[in-house]
Structure 1
Amino acid sequence: MTDASKGPLDGLVVLDLTRILAGPTATQMLGDLGATVWKIENPERGDDTRAWGPPYADTEDGIQDLSAYFLSANRNKMSVAVDLALPEGQAQIRKLAARADIMVENFKPGGLVKYGLDPDTLRKAHPGLITCSISGFGQTGPNREKPGYDLMAQGYGGIMSLTGAPDGPPMKVGVGIADVMCGMYAATGILAALHHRTQTGEGQSIDVALVDTQMAWLINEGTNTLMSGKIPERRGNAHPNIVPYDVFDASDGHVIVAVGNDAQFARFCDALGLGPLHEDPSFVTNPARITHRDALMLHLRPALTTIPAATIIQKLEAAKVPVGPIHDLNQALATDQAKARDAVIEQTQNGATLKLLGNPLKFSATPVQYTRPPPRLGEHTGVVLGKTDTEND
């Protein structure tokens, strides 16, 4: 019988040499799934994001090293303070690598070579080790030496050219989505490498970059451009391939309408009293609506501005047309749906109650466990470095 108190990655050890967001996102995912994660931090300042506040956790000792930013990507980890610049620190990392299954790092390409801790060196000593290197542009290519930040990746990789109002400037996504998605790709790659090792006993190195992954999740807009050769326009909240699929002004706020097919469009028009609009040859099919997008909006936008948002939602839901509100973060995280799905969890650290975003994965046999709150700097140094080679946590 499966032990539901253990995650699917129970027994695996991750040596985490990452900081900021992309790497910590990947390693937090592995920790949420049950792996033991040793987060290596500079003894003096720790992960840079510890100081990226306010807000900070209101701990009993008053030390402000748990910013909300840091808390977002560092639960289920053990903090080990090691100075990589010192020979002693390098020796400690080599000993930990011998006990680890996975090493994740986000130094500049080649940045660990001078310490003798680069993936090639570690894997020569430990052929079963899986290493994952996260960087801005990857380990190869003409831009490999350039620093990688989320904003720069969003700009270089094209997503900013698609985001924002049609008559406005290019706009970044409101959160560090290039970092987060890179972390998700990294976690997926690590899991695939683990399966390969299970079959062959062989570890391997993974090279994943913010810009590469950002280009990969251009999705339909990327393939639209590749197939047509046309540079897509910024459309604000509108969809390039579906109409109407947008944010509309209601009489008292805003509402999302996402009409996915022609039958839904007919029901949309009927529900909101738009008469025979759906019978007009210019609007009867989705390709026609795309061609005549501007003309259709001249009908739709004035009509919806006369109706309260709640009424639009009620009528369209009854007509089985996709529709929804636009919540602010307080509203979103307090919805009944969010509560039912454990979107918010609580942990405690040094007397502080930490409200964190939950992991969205729902396992039937090995549910996600929140065993450790985001750690204080160096909290587990003695425990981890003092363990024998057969002990992991």
Structure 2
Amino acid sequence: MSLGRTYPGLRVVDLSENIAGPLACMVLGDLGADVVKIEPPGTGEATRRLSPRWGAESAVFLTLNRNKRSVAVDARTPSGRDAVLRIARGADVVVESFRPGVAERLGLGFDDLARVAPRVVYCSVSAFGEGPLGRGLPGYDALIQAFTGIMEMTGDPDGPPARTAPSAVDISTGLWATTAIMAALARRQERSGAERVTASLVDSGFFLLCHQITGYLGTGAFPPRLGSGGPSTAPYEAFRTQDGTIMIAAATDRLFRRLCDALDLPRLSEDPRFRRVADRVTARMELAALIEDRLCQAPSRHWLDRIAKAGVPVGPVHTLAEALAHPLTAERGLLRTADPGTVPGLRQIRLPIDSDADCAMKHPPALGAHTEEVLTEAGLTREEIDDLPPSTAMEGTAPPR
């Protein structure tokens, strides 16, 4: 069955901004749900104004808001709030990422939505949770990486702490929110009433460190900053060659012996310093220097072919352009062209769980493109729609991450 038709007829109201909440709603939209995105008139949600841009549109917004309909109403006003509640009447899912307490002040909290959508799954996304310590803290992906220790253990051993290039905390939070929503939808068969689920960036950040945390609690040793290396085995990192860089993942003793043979360094595998995985982790720097000295004697292509022929996991270190141009990317059908819309030729990455080449990918909406359509569906009259006040901002939304 096509994953694109998993949730036909499901109504999702997206009150969220930035990355985590919109990603969760987009996944549901990609899987067939009708997603209505509520945005403040005039400006739209914060990511519409970010760089880089594809033409006049923000790449971040375009990436996270396909398969949605945009409604521009000011939820700060009584009439705007009432319009949102009428749109949400009977909704299956509502996702919000206001700062803790703001949704309730606006009259869009869990209890408010449960009155108009009695079986709704209401998902709240926050930065540091809703407790007395976390509710007031700012919610940037980079701040979470710094707070949880991700940043301190990322980067070169002799360099400063580094942020991971992808917005890993935001993206993983969005996926955890999706998981929680899907689980709650499955539970609806066994319960009556609405259900609230939550996802927070700080929890996701810590979970990304799950095995490092277990290792630290068991040994008391802080995870070292290893650059491209891994903490559990060696050689398992990127090495310079005569003309570039390659990644070698010789994770076991058997693979290490094969690597030594491929490099014409058979004695290395018998050296007491490197005989077992634990030995090689301890002597990581010495081992890396010996391997890299050998690799620098020939170009990358020579070593890629030779090491792969020996059965050792090895690969090139691509630029993004090289990775996207690789035939494997086309084989996997990873890039899709959106339906005709406001950005000609827009191509995006598909969901990694969807292998159906015919899965619909509707273009991310222009601000307010579906306002009249959705409000009319919700039962508002022409006069009520015309009376909705304009605005340029929505109270309490989190800043862009």
TM-score, with normalisation over the residues of structure 2? Answer: 0.90
The answer for the alignment partner of 2:278 in structure 1 is 287
The answer for the alignment partner of 1:357 in structure 2 is 349
User: What secondary structure does 2:190 align onto?
Assistant: helix
Q: Which amino acid aligns with 1:48?
A: A
Q: Which deviates further from its counterpart, 194-203 or 88-97?
A: 194-203
User: What's the CA shift for 1:36?
Assistant: 0.9
Are 1:376 and 2:366 matched, yes or no? yes
Are 1:260 and 2:239 matched, yes or no? no
The answer for the alignment partner of 2:49 in structure 1 is 51
- For the residues of structure 2 that align with 1:300 and 1:371, how far apart are their CA atoms? 46
User: What secondary structure does 1:248 align onto?
Assistant: strand
- For the residues of structure 2 that align with 1:24 and 1:221, how far apart are their CA atoms? 29
**Structure 2: tracts of 5 or more residues without a match:** 380-401
Q: Which deviates further from its counterpart, 113-122 or 175-184?
A: 113-122
User: What's the CA shift for 1:24?
Assistant: 1.1
- Pairing 1:229-244 to 2, within 5 Å after superposition: 229-244=220-235
Alpha-carbon contact 1:31-1:76 (below 8 Å) kept: yes
Are 1:208 and 2:199 matched, yes or no? yes
Q: Which amino acid aligns with 1:269?
A: C
The answer for the alignment partner of 1:24 in structure 2 is 22
Query: Per-residue displacement from partner, 1:365-391 (whole Å, max 9, x unpaired)?
Result: xx77234111100011111111157xx
- Pairing 1:1-393 to 2, within 5 Å after superposition: 4=2, 7-57=5-55, 64=56, 66-347=57-338, 348-350=340-342, 352-362=344-354, 369-387=359-377
User: What's the CA shift for 1:121?
Assistant: 2.6
User: What's the CA shift for 1:161?
Assistant: 0.9
Q: Which amino acid aligns with 1:47?
A: E
- For the residues of structure 1 that align with 2:7 and 2:132, how far apart are their CA atoms? 34
Alpha-carbon contact 1:139-1:207 (below 8 Å) kept: no
- For the residues of structure 1 that align with 2:301 and 2:230, how far apart are their CA atoms? 23
Q: Which amino acid aligns with 1:263?
A: R
Q: Which deviates further from its counterpart, 338-347 or 251-260?
A: 338-347
Alpha-carbon contact 2:92-2:119 (below 8 Å) kept: yes
Alpha-carbon contact 2:241-2:298 (below 8 Å) kept: yes
User: What secondary structure does 1:386 align onto?
Assistant: helix
User: What secondary structure does 2:89 align onto?
Assistant: helix
- For the residues of structure 1 that align with 2:237 and 2:4, how far apart are their CA atoms? 43
Alpha-carbon contact 2:90-2:120 (below 8 Å) kept: no
User: What's the CA shift for 1:5?
Assistant: 8.8
Q: Which amino acid aligns with 1:231?
A: F
Q: Which amino acid aligns with 1:228?
A: T
Q: CA RMSD in A?
A: 1.7
User: What secondary structure does 1:39 align onto?
Assistant: strand
The answer for the alignment partner of 2:398 in structure 1 is none
- For the residues of structure 2 that align with 1:220 and 1:95, how far apart are their CA atoms? 45
Q: Which deviates further from its counterpart, 296-305 or 234-243?
A: 296-305
Alpha-carbon contact 1:249-1:304 (below 8 Å) kept: yes
Residue 180 to residue 368, structure 1, CA distance change in 2 (3 Å): farther
Residue 326 to residue 180, structure 1, CA distance change in 2 (3 Å): same
Q: Which amino acid aligns with 1:154?
A: Q
- For the residues of structure 1 that align with 2:126 and 2:4, how far apart are their CA atoms? 32
Residue 85 to residue 25, structure 1, CA distance change in 2 (3 Å): same
User: What's the CA shift for 1:79?
Assistant: 0.6
User: What secondary structure does 2:102 align onto?
Assistant: coil
- For the residues of structure 2 that align with 1:314 and 1:42, how far apart are their CA atoms? 55
Alpha-carbon contact 1:252-1:309 (below 8 Å) kept: yes
User: What's the CA shift for 1:46?
Assistant: 0.3
- For the residues of structure 2 that align with 1:368 and 1:278, how far apart are their CA atoms? 50
- For the residues of structure 1 that align with 2:225 and 2:39, how far apart are their CA atoms? 41
Query: Per-residue displacement from partner, 1:147-170 (whole Å, max 9, x unpaired)?
Result: 211111111111101111111111
Alpha-carbon contact 1:34-1:368 (below 8 Å) kept: no
Q: Which amino acid aligns with 2:190?
A: Q
User: What's the CA shift for 1:140?
Assistant: 1.8
Give the aligned length: 378
- Runs of 4+ deviating beyond 6 Å: none
- For the residues of structure 2 that align with 1:386 and 1:5, how far apart are their CA atoms? 30
Query: What is the aligned-residue identity percentage?
Result: 37
Residue 368 to residue 207, structure 1, CA distance change in 2 (3 Å): farther
Alpha-carbon contact 2:228-2:237 (below 8 Å) kept: yes
Q: Which deviates further from its counterpart, 38-47 or 228-237?
A: 228-237
**Structure 1: tracts of 5 or more residues without a match:** 58-63
Q: Which deviates further from its counterpart, 139-148 or 174-183?
A: 139-148
- For the residues of structure 2 that align with 1:359 and 1:265, how far apart are their CA atoms? 35
- For the residues of structure 2 that align with 1:6 and 1:167, how far apart are their CA atoms? 47
Q: Which amino acid aligns with 1:352?
A: P
Q: Which deviates further from its counterpart, 24-33 or 285-294?
A: 285-294
